């Protein structure tokens, strides 16, 4: 979103940016200090432009600081943790992910935890500040509160899938944060759904602009569909996915990951200066020796002959001596600027996932033909014939396969699917020497347990 700030509000923008940067750059969410100047905080939320600046700062940090997007985001790191990517680099933390020797003291684990909770704190700051504002219009209050609620929920949903039971932080009260307990998984799902339903009501009349860069009602429904699926509420998962499938269209295979794709439900804007997605920078191999990761032989072998996703979304490079050929994800294609505008934005939700969510929900509800139709929409776009699967077991296997081929190296989908469908042991134990069943969730960072004993006990296996 492009901000238009008049001269009288420039100083407030500066204060806001400094305030938010301060709150989200601390070492740990449990170390957040009490506000130093409540007058400054109150002033920030008197003007819609400064609240937009605060929201924009959250999106900036989401796209470049390491969990959702950025260096070693979940797209690359969980591809390495699962069976999508081989790793040839020498980063100690990434090697531990690849070999399943993760420790509670590892920097990667702490980075994800702190990044998410710092942004949750910033979202809570917006929710509280907007609620207390005496000058914002009701329309602006609804828009900002709905967006912040969505961000809080989205990040909590990632934390839940990564770490298991986590604190569900809904306040900026630093004392409460310092003493937070972990919330049982079933209760976290209830809170996620409750917050998203509230966000949906607040964002009912909002829009995203021309580039699908702001959370709106459709984005909320996309996350609700995913959460209902993960929690086993098949009927609601089908309903939420159906709400979206009529509003978007599957894009031409070559245009899916361009910023103007008709399939994109939500993506992160990369700013006014032309920059590129971190996914492209991490995943595209530009030379051998490589920067560290390449698609596994097992993933490559899973594609059927004639699958256009293999042709258009995978590329390869051969070493100068002709002895080594490596294959890499080529969904995002730009690793350097060639125009004065970015052509690709990091995509967090797209329509293909919703078809596969609805297919899975439908087969669980006994709608075999409906599930087949949704699978076929994805297969036919890829140039493949209709699925031959015709019973619940075979259709569920086909959905897992199609999710693997459609969503590879995107936002950790493969890992989350293996985990939630109970397939991680069977798939990973033969190919990961260090695999243990307890690796299904990551450890709570050791530093957090030391600072807040209420987070104990540590997850099994660590």
- The CATH code for residues 208-217+232-413 is 1.25.40.390
In whole angstroms, give the CA distance from residue 136 to residue 325: 58
Report the range of poorest mean pLDDT among 153-162, 318-327, 334-343, 344-353. Answer: 334-343
How many Å is the Cα radius of gyration of the chain?
Answer: 22
Burial class of 53 by CB neighbour count within 10 A (0 to 12, 13 to 18, 19+): buried
In whole angstroms, give the CA distance from residue 321 to residue 313: 25
Q: How far is CA 308 from the centre of its chain?
A: 25
Q: Is the pLDDT of residue 150 over 60?
A: yes
- 3-state SS, residue 297: helix
The class level of CATH for 10-81+93-206+422-462 reads mainly alpha
Q: Among 172, 219, 162, 167, which Cα is nearest to 188's? A: 167
Q: How confident is the model at residue 273 (pLDDT cuts 50, 70, 90)?
A: low
Mean pLDDT in residue range 47-65: 91
In whole angstroms, give the CA distance from residue 154 to residue 159: 9
In whole angstroms, give the CA distance from residue 308 to residue 4: 42
Q: How far is CA 220 from each of CA 88, 127, 147, 203, 263, rounded to the nearest angstrom?
A: 38, 17, 9, 9, 16
Angle at 147 between CA 145 and CA 148, to 5 degrees: 65
Q: How confident is the model at residue 278 (pLDDT cuts 50, 70, 90)?
A: confident
Q: Is the pLDDT of residue 104 over 80?
A: yes
Q: Is the pLDDT of residue 162 over 50?
A: yes
Name the segment(s) of the chain with CATH classification 1.25.40.390. Answer: 208-217+232-413
Mean pLDDT in residue range 213-222: 96
More confident residue, 243 or 275: 243
pTM: 0.90
Cis before 289? omega within 30: yes
In whole angstroms, give the CA distance from residue 313 to residue 302: 14
- Judge contact between 209 and 1, C-beta under 8 A: yes
Mean pLDDT in residue range 63-78: 88
Name the segment(s) of the chain with CATH classification 1.25.40.890. Answer: 10-81+93-206+422-462
Q: How far is CA 137 from the centre of its chain?
A: 31
Q: Give the pLDDT score at 75.
A: 96
Mean pLDDT in residue range 273-299: 87
Q: How far is CA 89 from the centre of its chain?
A: 24
In whole angstroms, give the CA distance from residue 199 to residue 66: 25
- 3-state SS, residue 295: strand
Strands (E), 128-267: 264-267
Q: Is the pLDDT of residue 20 over 70?
A: no
Q: How far is CA 260 from the centre of its chain?
A: 20
Q: How confident is the model at residue 208 (pLDDT cuts 50, 70, 90)?
A: low
In whole angstroms, give the CA distance from residue 224 to residue 217: 10
DSSP state of 70: B
Q: Give the pLDDT score at 191.
A: 98
- 3-state SS, residue 304: coil
Q: For the chain, what percent of residues have pLDDT higher than 70?
A: 89
Strand 264-267 and strand 85-87: pairing?
unpaired
Mean pLDDT in residue range 31-48: 58
- 3-state SS, residue 148: helix
Averaged pLDDT score across all residues of the chain: 89
């Amino acid at each position: 979103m492009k901000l238009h700030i008049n001269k009288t509000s420039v100083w407030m923008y500066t204060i806001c940016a400094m305030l938010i940067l301060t709150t989200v750059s601390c070492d740990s969410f449990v170390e957040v200090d009490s506000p130093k100047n409540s007058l400054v905080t109150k002033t920030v939320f008197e003007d819609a432009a400064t609240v937009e600046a605060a929201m924009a700062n959250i999106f900036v940090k989401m796209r470049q600081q390491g969990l959702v997007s950025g260096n070693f985001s979940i797209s690359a790191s969980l591809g390495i943790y699962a069976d999508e990517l081989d790793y040839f680099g020498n980063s100690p933390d990434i090697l531990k992910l690849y070999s399943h020797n993760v420790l509670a003291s590892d920097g990667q684990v702490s980075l994800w935890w702190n990044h998410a909770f710092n942004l949750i704190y910033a979202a809570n700051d917006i929710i509280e500040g907007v609620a207390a504002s005496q000058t914002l219009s009701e329309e602006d209050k609804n828009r900002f509160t709905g967006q912040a609620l969505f961000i809080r929920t989205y990040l909590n949903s990632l934390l839940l899938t990564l770490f298991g039971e986590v604190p569900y932080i809904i306040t900026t009260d630093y004392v409460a944060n310092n003493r937070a307990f972990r919330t049982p998984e079933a209760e976290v799902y209830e809170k996620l759904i409750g917050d998203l339903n509230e966000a949906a009501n607040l964002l009912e009349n909002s829009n995203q602009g021309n580039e699908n860069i702001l959370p709106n009602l459709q984005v909320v429904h996309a996350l609700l569909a995913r959460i209902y699926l993960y929690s086993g509420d098949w009927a609601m998962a089908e309903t939420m996915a159906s709400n979206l499938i009529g509003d978007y269209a599957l894009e031409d295979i070559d245009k899916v990951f361009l910023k103007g794709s008709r399939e994109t439900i939500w993506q992160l804007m990369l700013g006014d200066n032309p920059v590129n997605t971190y996914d492209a920078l991490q995943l595209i191999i530009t030379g051998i020796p490589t920067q560290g990761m390449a698609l596994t032989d097992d993933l490559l072998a899973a594609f059927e002959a004639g699958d256009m996703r293999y042709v258009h979304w995978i590329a390869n490079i051969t070493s100068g001596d002709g002895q080594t050929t490596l294959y890499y994800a080529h969904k995002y294609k730009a690793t350097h600027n060639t125009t004065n505008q970015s052509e690709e934005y990091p995509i967090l939700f797209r329509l293909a996932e919703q078809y596969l969510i609805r297919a899975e929900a439908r087969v669980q509800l006994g709608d075999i033909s409906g599930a087949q139709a949704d699978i076929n929409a994805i297969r036919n776009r890829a140039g493949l014939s209709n699925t031959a699967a015709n019973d619940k077991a075979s259709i569920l296997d086909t959905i897992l396969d199609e999710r693997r081929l459609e969503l590879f190296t995107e936002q950790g989908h493969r890992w989350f699917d293996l985990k939630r469908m109970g397939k991680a042991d069977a798939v990973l134990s033969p190919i990961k020497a260090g695999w243990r069943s307890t690796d299904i969730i990551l450890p709570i960072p050791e530093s957090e347990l030391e600072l807040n004993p209420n987070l104990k006990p540590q997850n099994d296996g660590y």
